[in-house]
Amino acid sequence: MIRTSGPRRGAPRTGVDWFLTVLRVAALTVIAVGLLAFIWQEIDTDNPFARWANPDATGLTGAQFRGLIVSGVAQGCMYGLIALGYSMVYGVLGFINFAHGEVFMVGAMTGMITSNKLADAGLWESNFIGSLVFIVIVSMVVCTLTAVIMERVAYRPLRGSPRLIPLITSIGVSFFIQNASIVLLGPAAKAYPDVPDWVKDKHTFMQIEGARILVVVVAAVSMFVLWYLVEHTKGGKAMRAVAEDAEIAALMGINVNRTIVRVFAVGGAMAGLAGILWGILFRSVIHTTGFLPGIKAFSAAVVGGIGHLGGAMAGGISIGVAESVGPLLILEPLGVSGVSQLRDAVAFAVLIGVLLLRPAGIFGERLPAEDRT
Amino acid sequence: MTATFPPETGAADGSAETLMAPSRPVLAQDWRRLVRMGAVGAVAQIFIALSNMPVRLDERAVVKPILSLGYLTLLIVPFAAGNRAGHQIKREGMPVYAAGTHEVAGGTACGALAGGGLSLLAVLLANFDLREPLVNWSPMLAELLAFGNATWFAVVVWLLIGAAVGAVGGALRVLGPRTRRAVVTMALTVAGTAVLEPLVVDLAEGMRLEALTDWLYARRGGVNWTGALVLAAVSGVVAVVGRGRVRQAREHIATLEGAKRTRTNLGLILLTAAVLVILPLFAGKLTNELLANVGLFVLLALGLNVVVGLAGILDLGYVAFFAVGSYSAAVLTAATSPRINPEMPWLVALIVVVIITGLVGLFIGAPVIRMRGDYLAIVTLGFGEIIRLIFLSDWLSGWFGGSQGITKIPGAGIFGLTSVAGTDPRRVFYLVLAFCAIAIYVSWRLERSRLGRAWMAVREDETVAEAMGINTVNVKLLAFVVGAVLGSFSGAIFSAKVGSVFPNSFLILVSIVILVVVIFGGMGSIVGVIAGSAVLIGVLGGPKQPGLLAEFSEFKLLIYGALLIWMMLARPEGLIPSVRRSRELHQQEMAQDAWLRGEVEDDDSNGGGQAAPAT
**Set of chain B residues whose Cβ sits within 8 Å of the Cβ of A162:** 585
Q: Which residues pair with B217 in a beta bridge?
A: B223
For residues B525 and B576, is the Cβ–Cβ distance under 8 A? yes
Give the closest of A19, A171, A336 to B366, CB-based. A19
A44-74 pLDDT per residue, tens: 666 666 666 666 666 667 777 788 888 888 8
Residue type, A339: V
**Quick one: pLDDT at residue A145?**
94
B172-189 pLDDT per residue, tens: 888 877 788 888 888 888
Chain A CA closest to residue B473: A16
Mutating which of A184, A306, A337 best tests the B interface, going by the most B Cβ atoms within 10 A? Answer: A184
Residue type, A74: A
Q: Confidence band (pLDDT; 50, 70, 90) for A88?
A: confident
B105-133 pLDDT per residue, tens: 888 888 899 888 889 998 888 888 888 88
Got the DSSP string for B402-420?
GGG-B--PPPEEETTTEEE
CA dihedral angle for residue A102, residue A105, residue A107, residue A112, rounded to 10 degrees: -160
More confident residue, A36 or B308: B308
Cross-chain residue pair A180–B47, CB shorter than 8 Å: yes
Any B CB within 8 A of A185 CB: yes
Rounded distance, CA B541 to CA B548, Å?
Answer: 7
What contacts B161, CB < 8 A, 6 or more positions away? B75, B78, B115
**Quick one: pLDDT at residue B268?**
86
**Set of chain A residues whose Cβ sits within 8 Å of the Cβ of B508:** 291
- Interface contacts A/B by beta carbons within 8 Å: 169
More confident residue, B78 or B253: B78
Cross-chain residue pair A182–B375, CB shorter than 8 Å: no
Within the 64-103 window of chain A, which residues sit less than 8 Å (CB to CB) from chain B? 95-96
A279-299 pLDDT per residue, tens: 888 888 888 888 888 888 888
Lowest-confidence range among B220-224, B343-347, B370-374? B220-224
More confident residue, A137 or A323: A137
Cross-chain residue pair B132–A352, CB shorter than 8 Å: no
Any B CB within 8 A of A159 CB: no
Within the 314-373 window of chain A, which residues sit less than 8 Å (CB to CB) from chain B? 336-339, 341-342, 344-345, 348-349, 351-352, 355-356, 359
B380-401 pLDDT per residue, tens: 888 888 888 888 887 777 778 7
Cross-chain residue pair A352–B382, CB shorter than 8 Å: yes
Residue type, B394: D
Give the closest of B133, B389, B568 to A344, CB-based. B389
Is the confidence at residue A371, as pLDDT, over 90? no
Is the confidence at residue B454, as pLDDT, over 50? yes
Rounded distance, CA B405 to CA B392, Å?
Answer: 8
Is the confidence at residue B611, as pLDDT, over 90? no
For residues B187 and B171, is the Cβ–Cβ distance under 8 A? no
For B67, the 3-state DSSP assignment is strand
Any B CB within 8 A of A164 CB: yes
Q: Confidence band (pLDDT; 50, 70, 90) for B7?
A: very low
Cross-chain residue pair B381–A295, CB shorter than 8 Å: yes
**Quick one: pLDDT at residue B319?**
92
φ and ψ of B349, to 5 deg: -60, -35
Give the closest of A96, A117, A185 to B134, CB-based. A185
Give the closest of B367, B555, B563 to A23, CB-based. B367
Residue A129 C-alpha, separation from nearest chain B C-alpha, in angstroms: 23
B595-610 pLDDT per residue, tens: 777 665 544 444 433 4
CB atoms within 10 A of CB B251: 10
Rounded distance, CA A373 to CA B250, Å?
Answer: 44
Chain B CA closest to residue A334: B395
Cross-chain residue pair B564–A117, CB shorter than 8 Å: no
**Quick one: pLDDT at residue B198?**
80
Is the confidence at residue B31, as pLDDT, over 60? yes
What contacts A294, CB < 8 A, 6 or more positions away? A82, A98, A100, A101, A102, A104, A174
Cross-chain residue pair B374–A171, CB shorter than 8 Å: no
What contacts A303, CB < 8 A, 6 or more positions away? A311, A314, A315, A318, A319, A350, A354, A361, A362
Q: Confidence band (pLDDT; 50, 70, 90) for B354?
A: very high
% of chain B surpassing 90 pLDDT: 12
Cross-chain residue pair B561–A157, CB shorter than 8 Å: no
Q: Say if strands B61-63 and B19-21 run parallel, antiparallel, or are unpaired.
A: unpaired
More confident residue, B308 or B216: B308
Cross-chain residue pair B377–A164, CB shorter than 8 Å: yes
**Quick one: pLDDT at residue A12?**
56
Chain B CA closest to residue A16: B366
Give the closest of B474, B512, B562 to A171, CB-based. B512
For B20, the 3-state DSSP assignment is strand
| Angle in degrees, 0-180, between the axes of helices A256-282 and A210-232, rounded to the nearest 10 | 170
Any B CB within 8 A of A165 CB: yes
Chain B CA closest to residue A155: B569
Task: Annotate chain A with three-state secondary structure.
Answer: CCCCCCCCCCCCCCHHHHHHHHHHHHHHHHHHHHHHHHHHHHHCCCCHHHHHHCCCCCCCCHHHHHHHHHHHHHHHHHHHHHHHHHHHHHHHHCCCCCCHHHHHHHHHHHHHHHHHHHHHHCHHHHCHHHHHHHHHHHHHHHHHHHHHHHHHHHHHHHCCCCCHHHHHHHHHHHHHHHHHHHHHHCCCCEECCCCCHHHHCECCCCCCEHHHHHHHHHHHHHHHHHHHHHHHCHHHHHHHHHHHCHHHHHHCCCCHHHHHHHHHHHHHHHHHHHHHHHHHHHCEECHHHHHHHHHHHHHHHHHHCCCCHHHHHHHHHHHHHHHHHHHHHHHHHHCCCCHHHHHHHHHHHHHHHHHHHCCCCCCCCCCCHHHHC
More confident residue, B189 or B28: B189
**Set of chain A residues whose Cβ sits within 8 Å of the Cβ of B378:** 96, 295, 298, 351, 355
Cross-chain residue pair A176–B561, CB shorter than 8 Å: yes
Nearest residue to B580 (alpha-carbon basis) of B455, B421, B492: B455
Give the closest of A158, A161, A175 to B512, CB-based. A175
Nearest residue to A103 (alpha-carbon basis) of A120, A121, A119, A85: A85
Q: Tell me what the mean pLDDT of segment A307-335 comes to.
A: 81
CA atoms within 13 A on the CB side of B466: 11
For residues A81 and A270, is the Cβ–Cβ distance under 8 A? yes
**Set of chain A residues whose Cβ sits within 8 Å of the Cβ of B382:** 295, 348-349, 351-352
CB burial readout B590-608, b (16+ within 10 A) else e: bbbebbeeeebeeeeeeeb
- Which ranges of B128-224 does DSSP label H, i.e. alpha helix? 139-145, 151-174, 177-195, 197-206, 210-216
Cross-chain residue pair A113–B133, CB shorter than 8 Å: yes
Nearest residue to B154 (alpha-carbon basis) of B111, B125, B134: B125
CB atoms within 10 A of CB B104: 23
Nearest residue to B365 (alpha-carbon basis) of A23, A105, A341: A23
Chain A CA closest to residue B131: A185
**Set of chain A residues whose Cβ sits within 8 Å of the Cβ of B371:** 4-5, 355, 359
Within the 1-20 window of chain A, which residues sit less than 8 Å (CB to CB) from chain B? 4-6, 14, 16, 19-20
Chain A CA closest to residue B308: A164
ipTM: 0.86
Chain B CA closest to residue A96: B374
Any B CB within 8 A of A157 CB: yes
A241-267 pLDDT per residue, tens: 888 888 888 898 888 889 999 999 999
**Set of chain B residues whose Cβ sits within 8 Å of the Cβ of A96:** 374, 377-378
For residues A294 and A101, is the Cβ–Cβ distance under 8 A? yes
Cross-chain residue pair B379–A351, CB shorter than 8 Å: yes
Cross-chain residue pair A4–B569, CB shorter than 8 Å: no
Nearest residue to A333 (alpha-carbon basis) of A82, A31, A10, A105: A31
Q: Confidence band (pLDDT; 50, 70, 90) for B615?
A: very low
Cross-chain residue pair A173–B561, CB shorter than 8 Å: yes
Is the confidence at residue B2, as pLDDT, over 60? no
Cross-chain residue pair B565–A172, CB shorter than 8 Å: yes
Residue A303 C-alpha, separation from nearest chain B C-alpha, in angstroms: 12
Got the DSSP string for B436-452?
HHHHHHHHHHHHTSHHH
Q: Tell me what the mean pLDDT of segment B85-103 comes to.
A: 74
Give the closest of A14, A168, A338 to B395, CB-based. A338
Lowest-confidence range among A147-161, A184-198, B58-72? B58-72
φ and ψ of B64, to 5 deg: -45, -65
Any B CB within 8 A of A119 CB: no
* Distance (Å) of CA B205 to CA A358, B88, B193, B202, B233: 63, 48, 16, 5, 25
B250-280 pLDDT per residue, tens: 777 777 777 888 888 888 888 988 888 888 8
